[in-house]
């Protein structure tokens, strides 16, 4: 699906961050994405569904939670993709300020790859 790694940060203009800052940024992005996806899905759940899903999460049953989502919200991967795209745009827009706050120059994101014909 996607990976939030150093290449992901580079694609947003944050390749020059010190590694410690990259690690913090990746954790922050993952937590933010998880929260946004959860809120979006939760807004479409019934009380019973919320309780059922919460039980799986409280048990740290990630595999069960994933299967539950696939069954009850087959579009959840699209929700993740949509929220990730919004988050990427926000971060890319703030990359110069993030880099400046870390005392580095923002990097230039790689140009999008053109499809081969």
pLDDT per position as a tens digit, 66-105: 899 999 999 999 999 999 999 999 999 999 999 898 888 8
In the block, residue with structure tokens 């992005």:
29
Provide the greatest CA pair distance for the chain. 50
Residue 40 to residue 83: CA distance in whole angstroms = 9
pTM: 0.82
pLDDT, position 105: 84
Give the pLDDT mean for 22-38. Answer: 95
Contact criterion met (CB below 8 Å) for 106 and 13: yes
Share of the chain above pLDDT 90, in %: 78
Helices (H), 3-75: 6-11, 19-42, 47-58, 62-72
Query: Domain boundaries in the chain?
Result: 34-101
| Lowest-confidence segment of 32-36, 53-57, 70-74, 101-105 by average pLDDT | 101-105
Q: What is the pLDDT of residue 27?
A: 96
**Mean pLDDT score of the chain:** 90
């Amino acid at each position: 699906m996607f990976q939030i790694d150093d290449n992901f940060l580079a694609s947003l203009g944050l390749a020059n961050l010190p590694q410690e800052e990259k690690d913090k940024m990746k954790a922050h992005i993952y937590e933010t994405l998880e929260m946004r996806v959860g809120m979006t899905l939760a807004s479409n759940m019934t009380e019973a569904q919320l309780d059922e899903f919460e039980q799986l999460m409280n048990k740290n049953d990630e595999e069960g939670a994933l299967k539950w989502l696939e069954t009850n919200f087959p579009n959840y991967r699209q929700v993740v993709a949509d929220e990730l795209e919004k988050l990427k745009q926000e971060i890319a827009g703030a990359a110069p300020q993030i880099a400046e706050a870390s005392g580095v120059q923002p990097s230039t994101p790689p140009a999008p790859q053109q499809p081969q014909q």
